[in-house]
A = this chain, B = another copy of it.
Amino acid sequence: MKEYSHTYFLTAGECDAESRMPMPLIVSRLIEVATEHANAWGVGYSRLKESGQAWVLSRISVEMMEYPHVNEEYAITTWVESYNRHFSERNFVITAGGEEVGYARSVWMVIDTARRTLCDISQLSYISENVSERRSPMTPITRLTPVSARRSESYTFGYIDVDSNRHVNSVSYIKLLMNKWSLDFYDRHRIARLEMAYIKECLCGMTVNVLIDDSNPLDCTAEIEAGGTGYCRARIVFAESEYRAGLNDCNSNNNN
């Protein structure tokens, strides 16, 4: 099965302040669908684990033309588009209301969990057997360089930021970055493109600096760093998008 799809329903309680599907939930769902696809092959995780190896997300980029809205069904389809000795590229399309509303590209690698080194994946037959011919129309991932911060704030990762891998969750970095813009800004803009580069894993209790370069307010870069080491870099491209209360209002908690 070279392509895998999962259909979801966007509940009221999941929506953001503008009643859209929030970007952190989009990325959670992409990772979930990738995991399900690998589980469906019945090989990926357990075979790697026996040999002390694990798949790690290295890059993810998401482009949303439109966001699924409350009480709407949306589907995510994924496939592996290419791979080489060290990296595998898994791409996605997000559909809602019969339309393609978003795309994503992700890059994964296999590490030796004890030695923390990159493994050669060219010998993994289940990848070569499952590479799809499908080509994503999305603009390729760009290279993210260190950020010259125009503003900076510190943050200490807590228990809630950590997942079962015992380090900060890929999605927690996105939430941390998104919190650096105001509700008022999000009422007038939506994220058109998000690019994340994961360099090194943060741990629970660690204090980091969040550096933002918003000299171009619609095309910003960001970095999460501590002690001169970059842990994660991002690019966030915003598009104008007016929120009108009531028009696309949703009803989380307004129940009995």
Contact = CB atoms under 8 A, between A and B. Distances in A.
A11 to B, nearest CB: 5
Interface in A19-43: 19, 22, 24, 28, 31-32, 34-39
A13 interface: yes
Pick the most buried of A48, A164, A169, A252: most chain B CB atoms within 10 A of its CB. A164
Nearest to A166: B17
A205 B13 CA distance: 20
A127 B56 CA distance: 49
Interface in A152-182: 158-166, 169-170, 175, 178-182
A189 to B, nearest CB: 11
A126 to B, nearest CB: 8
Contacts of A160: 22, 24, 175, 178-179
A70 B32 CA distance: 13
Nearest to A110: B256
Contacts of A49: 251, 254
A37 B255 CA distance: 9
A44 B256 contact: yes
Given A170-B253, A205-B183, A28 B45 contact: no
A247 B12 CA distance: 36
Given A24-B160, A164-B12, A253 B57 contact: yes
A96 to B, nearest CB: 17
A24 B161 CA distance: 12
A48 B38 CA distance: 45
Given A159-B179, A175-B160, A254 B11 contact: no
B17 A35 contact: no
Contacts of A54: 251, 253-254
Nearest to A18: B164
A163 B16 contact: yes
B38 A256 contact: yes
A252 B13 CA distance: 23
Nearest to A83: B256
Given A182-B159, A186-B159, A164 B16 contact: yes
Given A90-B256, A159-B186, A178-B159, A17 B164 contact: yes
Closest 5 CB pairs of A and B: A158-B179, A38-B255, A35-B255, A15-B164, A183-B204
